[in-house]
Amino acid sequence: MHCKDAFKVRVFCALVFCLILAPISFAESVHVYRDFPGEARIGSVIQINLTVENLGASVIEATIQENVGDYTVIEPTPVSYVGTPGIIGFRLPYFEWNVTVGPMQNETVYYRVNLTSPGEVLLSPATVIVGDEYIYSDSGSISVICNQNGDCESLLNENCFNCPEDCPTGASDGICDLVADGRCDPDCEEGSDEDCPYCGDGICSPKEDESTCPGDCRVDRPQDPEESGDTESPGSEGMDYGLILGIVFALAILILIAVYLKRRASKTSEIPPEAPAQSQPIYPEYPQ
């Protein structure tokens, strides 16, 4: 092989090697970072920043995309996905920005959202597109905690599962929890919560009458203890009968004792009194 041919081969190999390493070096020179709070209260408005960093030696034109999560968007307006006619496909709304980043520089975009539901808000990896290359950020999550103000706020989507501090079981939170806690859950259907009175349980509750529930509110049917004012326990009636029997028994014993003492006294009065002994005269004795 001539020296000229060997040189051409070396140049060709070097070009191929550069082409192979070019995507790798490019991917290593462009990075994307997301900045966001790890925890926030329900109803708060937060800002999430996305930063594209260019460590390369040339200017890049980048497209940043971020899927919309479980929150209410404040700004900017997200892009709605329009499918191709004849092709079945679906994509969630997403944010999109086009930025120009100089060498050894970075560009930051942001969006603002309102956290409307307690729980975990998941953030999927953001995407940066430069030419035919796709660079992804790390995923993340935001812990949305409830207000803990003692008020179960259904407008903020609080319920007994995601905010038990404000919404105990039995609260009006849109969820029938079916917990036997002595509280009637207003979110349950009639007859499903054992803590709730219902038509057909044999008790005429305050919300029932002869027209709405004749089976429970007949004259011969017992009323709800709270409505009738009867707060005695089921065993109190038996306790009263036992007390009465005890009093009667004690009075009978006292009467028998009194009769016995009276008869004894009458028998003693019938015995005649003994006559008093008469004294004999004492005569003096004289010596003879």
Query: Which residue has better confidence, 68 or 15?
Result: 68
Q: Is the pLDDT of residue 235 over 60?
A: no
pLDDT of residue 24: 43
Q: How far apart, in whole angstroms, are the C-alpha atoms of residue 252 and residue 246? A: 10
The CATH number linked to 116 is: 2.60.40.10
pLDDT of residue 23: 46
Query: Which residue has better confidence, 265 or 183?
Result: 183
Residue 145, classified by CB atoms within 10 Å of its CB into exposed (0-12), middle (13-18) or buried (19+), is middle
pLDDT band at residue 242, thresholds of 50, 70 and 90?
confident
pLDDT of residue 125: 95
Residues 6+ apart with CB under 8 A from 277: none
pLDDT band at residue 21, thresholds of 50, 70 and 90?
very low
Is residue 179 a part of any domain in this protein? no
pLDDT of residue 67: 92
pLDDT of residue 271: 58
pLDDT of residue 199: 76
Is residue 159 a part of any domain in this protein? no
Q: Is the pLDDT of residue 287 over 80?
A: no
Q: How far apart, in whole angstroms, are the C-alpha atoms of residue 132 and residue 110? A: 24
Is residue 235 a part of any domain in this protein? no
Please choose, from the candidates 143, 150, 148, the residue with its C-alpha nearest in 3D space to the C-alpha of residue 118.
143
Question: Contact 115/131 with Cβ under 8 angstroms?
Answer: no
Residue 178, classified by CB atoms within 10 Å of its CB into exposed (0-12), middle (13-18) or buried (19+), is middle
Q: pLDDT tens, 88-143?
A: 555 678 999 999 999 999 999 999 999 988 889 999 999 999 999 999 999 999 99
Is residue 111 a part of any domain in this protein? yes
pLDDT band at residue 84, thresholds of 50, 70 and 90?
low
Is residue 37 a part of any domain in this protein? yes
pLDDT of residue 100: 97
* Exposed e or buried b per residue across 180-219, where buried means at least 16 C-beta atoms within 10 angstroms of its C-beta: eeeeebebbeeeebeebbbbebebbbeebeeeebeebbee
pLDDT band at residue 53, thresholds of 50, 70 and 90?
very high
pLDDT of residue 269: 62
Q: How far apart, in whole angstroms, are the C-alpha atoms of residue 173 and residue 158? A: 7
Is residue 288 a part of any domain in this protein? no
Weakest-pLDDT range from 148-152, 210-214, 218-222: 218-222
Domain count, the chain: 1
Is residue 80 a part of any domain in this protein? yes
Question: Contact 63/100 with Cβ under 8 angstroms?
Answer: no
**Which residues form the domain of 138?**
28-145
Encoding tokens for residue 255? 């009467």
Greatest mean pLDDT among 79-88, 172-181, 262-271 = 172-181
Residue 170 host element (H or E): none
Q: How far apart, in whole angstroms, are the C-alpha atoms of residue 113 and residue 65? A: 16
Phi, psi of 69 (to 5 degrees): -100, -160
Question: Contact 39/68 with Cβ under 8 angstroms?
Answer: no
Is residue 163 a part of any domain in this protein? no
Please choose, from the candidates 72, 49, 70, 51, the residue with its C-alpha nearest in 3D space to the C-alpha of residue 62.
51
pLDDT band at residue 48, thresholds of 50, 70 and 90?
very high
How would you classify the pairing of strands 133-136 and 60-67? unpaired
